[in-house]
Amino acid sequence: MNPAQPRYHRVMVKLSGEALMGSQPFGIEPAVVRAIAGELAEVAVLGVQIAVVVGGGNIIRGVSAHEQGIDRITGDSMGMLATVINALALSSAIEQLGVPTRVQTAIEMNEVAEPFIRRRAIRHLEKGRMVLFAGGTGNPFFTTDSAAALRANEIDAEVLMKATKVDGIYTADPAIDADAKLIPRLSYQEVLKRGLKVMDAAAISLCMESEIPIQVFNIRRPGIMKQVVLGDDVGSRVGPGEAE
């Protein structure tokens, strides 16, 4: 029996920093990092080229730092550095599973990671290395969602896989509204028009311009990354021509 063939061959995975916290109020929970690394390695075994953008909200957010009196640009720089810490932790866990990785940063720190160079990143992917992009876009005022959409465009990813804590996109926050309903299919325009909190508007617009679909799913469900890559109908999909 032939193994299932992946629907996608090059993907961008967006992980929030909070995904690495587990049950902790902040920081990194090693068991959770190992579990996520295992999910990514399971996809890599299929021969899929994987790039990852990870946030830094488990350590610090630029907006939150600004609200506490830190200059906004300084706060955003602190947030970008937090994403490097997370990328290094995830890279280490992935490599322990036998999958080679490279961390590339938008802010140069050569002793820690490579600088982001598009052609080099693509070459790593072609050689079977998982590439983790850290440091956001390297600019203040831009989220790591925007960084994921930007890098997805730059490396010609076929899909942006947005890992969340819920099963997909809902009509309202399911943690607050018991009547909230999952929306399996949406167009980019519908997401922007309804102001749905999937990704920020800049990220949605970047994906819309290149027609890169966004698959939103619950990272807490074991095996779900593999399901998305194989083309299973899970979570919510935002893309060209999609509708409720």
At residue 213, the pLDDT reads: 97
pLDDT tens digits, residue range 189-202? 999 999 888 899 99
Contact 80, 55 (CB under 8 A): no
Share of the chain above pLDDT 90, in %: 82
pLDDT recorded at residue 243 = 59
Name the residue among 153, 140, 150, 238 with its Cα closest to residue 196. 238
Q: CA 210, CA 141: separation in Å to the nearest integer?
A: 22
Can you list the domains of the chain with their CATH numbers? Answer: 10-238 (3.40.1160.10)
Percent of the chain with pLDDT over 70: 96
pLDDT, tens only, 126-150: 999 999 999 999 999 999 999 999 9
Checking if the pLDDT of 66 tops 80, the result is no
With 0-12 / 13-18 / 19 or more C-beta atoms within 10 angstroms meaning exposed / middle / buried, residue 188 is buried
Q: What is the pLDDT of residue 68?
A: 79
Of residues 90, 77, 110, 78, the one with CA closest to residue 50: 90
As a whole number of angstroms, the distance between CA 12 and CA 119 comes to: 16
- Residue 90: closest CA among 155, 32, 42, 50: 32
User: pLDDT digit string (tens) for 155-182?
Assistant: 999 999 999 989 999 988 888 898 999 9
pLDDT grade for 240, boundaries at 50, 70 and 90: confident
pLDDT band at 3 (very low <50, low <70, confident <90, very high): low
> What pLDDT is stored for residue 1 in this prediction?
37
Q: What is the mean pLDDT of residues 34-40?
A: 97
Residues 6+ apart with CB under 8 A from 111: none
Whether the pLDDT of residue 6 is over 90: the answer is yes
φ, ψ of residue 8 to 5 degrees: the values are: -115, 150
